[in-house]
């Protein structure tokens, strides 16, 4: 769901009107009650490797992320070929190509007085070297449910920028205990995986309206009590507001 104010379990969107493209047909993994089953969803096949470039440096009070937006993992083959089963639902015509990416963030961000909305396009950067977008597609629908991504949860848009709408399984930390850092939101706060303090899988109920909470985490090699975001398997998946 989309809201024009911060609401737990929803996306606080800066955009209220949607008229873009996307998947043209719902797959059988979308149920009649509006839920969907990730284990039943098809994906874009292929295994294309890319010359990923990505660096993170700290310059005074700023953290600078630079790269070419090509992922450190393989992707599916785009544009989606007519022979690909995904073509029955999503005919993404876009190609993946390198982008010029320089993102400057506060190295030690502080909480704002009130939440602000997230826009379309990049809302953060994963440690795979690739940007991630909010939870909706260009038609304002749940992108994870409706659009067909590859096995790593990514696909290109019309600008040829490869991106995710949720935490990529190729970026997740498979260990135990609190999840590791997986990326940074554009406000500078860290994004961590699906597991909380005791290693439990988090849900929207465990997080605030922006999809985060505060407790001790590892940040730049030190233990600090700090606000941070988490990924969940529930919509809106990552950052719902800043």
Tens-place pLDDT, residues 77-115: 999 999 999 999 999 999 999 999 999 999 999 999 999
Share of the chain above pLDDT 70, in %: 98
Q: What is the pLDDT of residue 3?
A: 60
Greatest C-alpha distance within the chain? 52
Report yes or no: 5 and 234 within 8 Å, Cβ to Cβ: no
Q: What is the pLDDT of residue 20?
A: 77
Q: What is the pLDDT of residue 58?
A: 95
**Reported pTM:** 0.94
Mean per-residue pLDDT for 119-129?
A: 96
Give, in order, the Cα–Cα distances in Å from 149 to each of 43, 79, 117, 155, 166. 6, 11, 25, 5, 11
């Amino acid at each position: 769901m989309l809201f024009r104010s911060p609401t737990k379990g929803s996306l606080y969107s800066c955009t209220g009107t949607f008229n873009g493209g996307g998947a043209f047909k719902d797959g059988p993994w979308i149920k009649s009650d509006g839920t969907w089953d990730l284990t039943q969803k098809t994906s874009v096949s292929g295994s294309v490797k890319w010359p990923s470039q990505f660096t993170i440096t700290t310059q005074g009070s700023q953290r600078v992320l630079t790269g070419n937006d090509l992922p450190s993992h393989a992707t599916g083959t785009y544009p989606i070929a007519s022979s690909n089963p995904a073509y029955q639902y999503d005919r993404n015509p876009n190609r993946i190509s390198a982008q010029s990416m320089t993102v400057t963030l506060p190295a030690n961000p502080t909480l704002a007085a009130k939440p602000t909305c997230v826009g379309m396009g990049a809302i953060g950067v994963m440690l795979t070297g690739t940007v991630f977008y909010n939870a909706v597609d260009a038609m304002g629908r749940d992108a994870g449910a409706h659009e067909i991504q590859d096995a790593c949860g990514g696909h290109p848009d019309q600008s040829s920028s490869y991106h995710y709408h949720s935490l990529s399984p190729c970026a997740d930390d498979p260990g135990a205990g609190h999840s590791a850092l997986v990326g940074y939101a554009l406000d500078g706060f860290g994004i961590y995986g699906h597991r909380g303090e005791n290693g439990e899988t988090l849900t929207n109920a465990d997080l605030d309206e922006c999809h985060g909470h505060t407790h001790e985490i590892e940040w730049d090699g030190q233990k600090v009590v700090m606000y941070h975001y988490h990924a969940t398997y529930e919509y809106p998946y990552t950052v719902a507001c800043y």
